[in-house]
Amino acid sequence: MPNSPSRRQVLGGVGAAVVTSALAPVARAAETLTRPDLALTGRTTDLGAGWRFALANPDGVTDPDGRFARAMDPAFDDTAWQVVDVPHDWSIELPPTADGTQSGSGFFRGGLGWYRKTFTLPPSLAGKRVSVEFDGVYSDAHVHLNGELLGNHPYAYTGWSWDLTGKAHTDGRTPNVLAVRATNPLPSSRWYSGSGIYRRVRLVVTEPVHVARHGTFVTTPDIAAGRGTVRVATDVANDSGGAVAAEVRTTVTDPAGRVVASGSATVGVPAGQAATAVTTQRVDEPKLWSVEQPVRYRVRTDVVVAGRVLDTTTTTFGFRYTEFHPDNGFSLNGVPMKLRGVNLHSTQGALGAVVDAAALEHQMRLMLAMGVNALRTAHNPPDPQLVEVCERLGILMMVEAFDCWRTGKLEFDYHRDFDAWSGHDIAEMVHAAKNSPAVVLWSIGNEVPDASMAGGPAIAAGLIAAVRAIDPTRPVIMGSDRYRSVPAPGSPQDLILRQLDGLGVNYNTAQSIDGLHAAYPDKFFFESESSSETSTRGVYQEPDLLNTGENHTPGKRATSSYDNNLASWTFSGEYSLKKDRDRKFCQGQFLWAGQDYLGEPTPYDVFPVKTSFFGAVDSAGLPKDAFHLFRSQWTTAPMVHLTPMDWTTHRPGEPVSVWVYSTVDTVELVLNGKSLGVRKFDRKTTVDGRPYLETSEPAGDDKNDPSGSYTSPNGGTGKLHLTWTVPFAPGTLTAIARAGGREVARDTLVTAGPPHAVTLTASPRSEGGAMSFVTATVVDAHGVVVPGAEPVLRFAVRGPGRVAGVDNGRQELAQSYQQPTIPAFRGQAVAVIAATGGRGLITVTATSPGLVAGTVTVPGTSLGQRNGPGARAVEVPAPPEFAAADASYSGAPDTLPSAMLDGDPATGWSNAYTKQATATLKAVSRPRPRDWVSLAWRQPRRVGTLTANFVVGATVALPDTVAVSYRTARGWEPVRNLKVTWGTDAPTTFTFDRVVTTELRLTMTARSFLRINALSAS
């Protein structure tokens, strides 16, 4: 990658930031900082507001001109730097680009950045201990105070603390300057990571004798009928000059704040050391923390020396007990249940990596609505705010340490720091989350290459020991893709598994997980990654195929939402659900993924496809059909869902495959008041007696089974959806679910008219953060969503708020998320609105030319972030998209429409594809029945002839039928008097009455694949 600034950058003066041209005008206009006096708020003071930031080099981690060599010096001139509040992610503020980036990062840049925070401290801190704590910086943070290097912390996903005592000025006059250098060398992550101080920073002030950082560990070792034991181990640090006898008093309060137990213990603490005091107290009739009722208690800890309280901390915990049984599965508080989990990366769509508690809660409430009860923090330790959200909402957590060990996956990933830092980082992971009742599993890694290498077992042993030395109460596992067959005795995989309590497998067949269970009867198993089916919201293709090809036409890169687009290692959602359901020993599964995330855009690896396709909801937080599939299996309340979610963009009479997901066994489909029949699920029971709904028609989804279908241990095969084939007719399509003859749920689709208005709805915002999510929907005059509408929407804000980011969930999107405008996709888009401080209402408006504007209000909050994501972003119009040649479908990356115009007969457009086999499905290569290609011009042209050179061969042939149409102001209209002269060794010509148009379209039906190596018009 280049180490010097490119021509796309604008260089400022001494001490100025190197910024993109889109940000340069506002970098100079940063608002004036408030006075640097830091208002202390007790033991902990937030340091989030009023930093200055400079992007020294977005294309490398060097400072090529040396302009930032003294950026840590208090006298360094930072007045031209941007003003930001942290958490902050500089990468998401840069426009995506294919130049010098990779798809793994979502085509966002990283580089080198500097942050500076100036503040004064009062004389009252004389004699106190002062430290600064970071929850996470991406990455390799070097932190300076007043020009002195405090230290560096390489790993981006763990927190740390540095002592400032004696280094910080506390005279109330002399400013302190905290300077942080952060880097993001590319490639450093397999998915979008963000860059900078993306988690919280705080100042901690204590007396010399105090509770150590992470110094409280609360466990409930004895929970029996009517009582519970609370054991509190408190590490007391003594930074004074003499030994002390410290009394540690612990007070337990219930959710209502009532004192329910207390205890005390005295411990001698030598000077400069720490000692642990343990108190044990009994709580009568404790309420248990569960996923249905996440009841939390608190422990107040007071450290008392010579009758004086020197420190007080509060720790949240819960009473609960778990079991991971190798045969009987997972249970919480004695109640058997499956882990209904999702994997989520630590990004927030349009916010990038910025951590905001309200945004986290919004995301997790989406998961709850799908029936989720568990989260895997893929593949790194979570932000503490996410742990708090999960324990408050009742979501179990599998907390994971690393994506690699000593052997890396990318040039600049964690393997470079593993030997020196892994012991520290995994200990930090455990300490940070050890008191949360939500956390039930510790994972030492994900798909690490070392798991199949000779040194792997020793590495695993060290990591396991480090976890158990801190917390022996929870199982230690890992997630792996290297156990798809039973390991050979004595192999690295075998030796590692024997050390673990259990194992998460990634993408195992039903047969392979059965084999592991039989070979290791004392270990528990679950799916740490399941399915990985890919989809695009509102896009549908070939429902009769279990696995479809992908459309590679620029602007149409998307995958089918019929649960039928799979990569070689993946499985359909239905297969994964059935496999887990039928195995009592399987603890559950974690779907890959809960939400589309930036980067890793499987199955495409081309700009501007910036996000993954794996999510049950898209990157904007809008549910796909997969959301409703899992909801139908993971929830019990009556529900029914129609797929496709579109009864508008079909041709009259076109047969539409309608799928219905439901928790109810009987569903009737009605079109325009006429019943299309009733379909029913069969009521079935697993071999251990658990009921479920499934059809009995063969699914044909497992080539490994003699039947060709996945077969349950009870002998059943079938599908998790009901199916109708409906000739399209405009109007109203309704699915009615009935139980006992009574309607209990319905879902309705209505054919939409022309776009008329924009409506806005706002999700509730929790009080813990600044962000609200506002969904814009394009509707017709009757309020029906227009699924094909893609007008550009402009969001504006009045009151104490701002647009923090915009998204429409489309994976192929060239524009930045950090601007106020975005095209709707499938009729919808989302704006993230940040409160900027103040209790007044925030009014959000969305406008688009020719449409009635939409307005909604959200409450302000004093927790607002004034200088955060989107604050400096300016609108960058998307480059006009113009394709001289286009196609409905291109089967491969090298058969795009543009190849018809390059003059090379060896290249051309084709709809031919071969979808490779998966572990359960055979390869498929099936001609599409109907496709089109087109020619377009920037200015209208008068044309009467279209010439196409069809290639004929073993796999490609001439079309069966053809039609030519041209674009008008009213839409597409057929040409008149079309005559076709077919050519086998010569071009085929289509002549017609001349028309004036900007685009001609050739529509073809065929029983074979098609290929055209030249297309022209005259």
- Point out the residues that are catalytic: 447, 529
- List, in sequence order, every residue forming a beta bridge with 980; answer none if it has no partner: 990
- Determine the Cα–Cα distance for residues 106 and 599; give it in Å rounded to an integer: 4
**Would you call the peptide bond into 139 cis, given omega within 30 degrees of 0 as the criterion?**
yes
Give dist(CA 18, CA 609) in Å, integer. 27
In 693-744, alpha helices (H): none
Distance CA 1018, CA 941 (A): 9
SS (H, E, C) 387-445: HHHHHHHCCEEEEECCCCCCCCCCCCCHHHCHHHHHHHHHHHHHHHHCCCCCEEEEEEE
Show the tokens assigned to 179.
């300077």
Residue located via tokens 């010097």: 4
Q: For residue 521, how far is the Cα from the chain centroid?
A: 34
User: Under a CB-based contact definition with an 8 Å cutoff, are residues 326 and 317 in contact?
Assistant: no
Kindly calculate the radius of gyration of the chain based on its CA atoms and give it in whole angstroms: 30
CA–CA distance from 10 to each of 2, 24, 57, 381, 423 (Å)?
16, 7, 11, 36, 42
Whole-Å CA distances, 951 to 225, 895, 928: 78, 13, 17
Burial of 527 (C-beta count, 10 Å sphere; 0-12/13-18/19+) = buried
Residues 6+ apart with CB under 8 A from 637: 663
Q: Tell me the residue ranges of DSSP E strands in 633-727.
A: 640-643, 655-662, 666-671, 674-680, 682-685, 691-694, 722-727
Helix 573-581 to helix 625-634 angle, to the nearest 10 degrees? Answer: 10
Contact assessment for residue 642 and residue 649, using Cβ atoms and an 8 Å cutoff: no
Query: Is the alpha carbon torsion for 398, 402, 403, 404 positive or negative?
Result: negative
* Consecutive H or E run containing 366: helix 357-369
Among 399, 572, 567, CA closest to 479: 399
Q: Where are the alpha helices (DSSP H) in 940-997?
A: none
Q: Whose structure tokens read 């055209």? A: 1012
- Per the DSSP assignment, residues forming a β-bridge with 859 are 841
Q: Are residues 315 and 338 in contact, defined by beta-carbon separation less than 8 angstroms?
A: no
- Identity (one letter) of the amino acid at 443? S
Give 496-499's long-range contacts (Cβ < 8 A, gap of 24+).
496/451, 496/456, 496/457, 496/460, 497/523, 499/457, 499/460, 499/461, 499/464
Give the chain's length.
1018
Instruction: Using alpha carbons, list the distances in angstroms from residue 761 to 215, 755, 810.
Output: 44, 18, 20
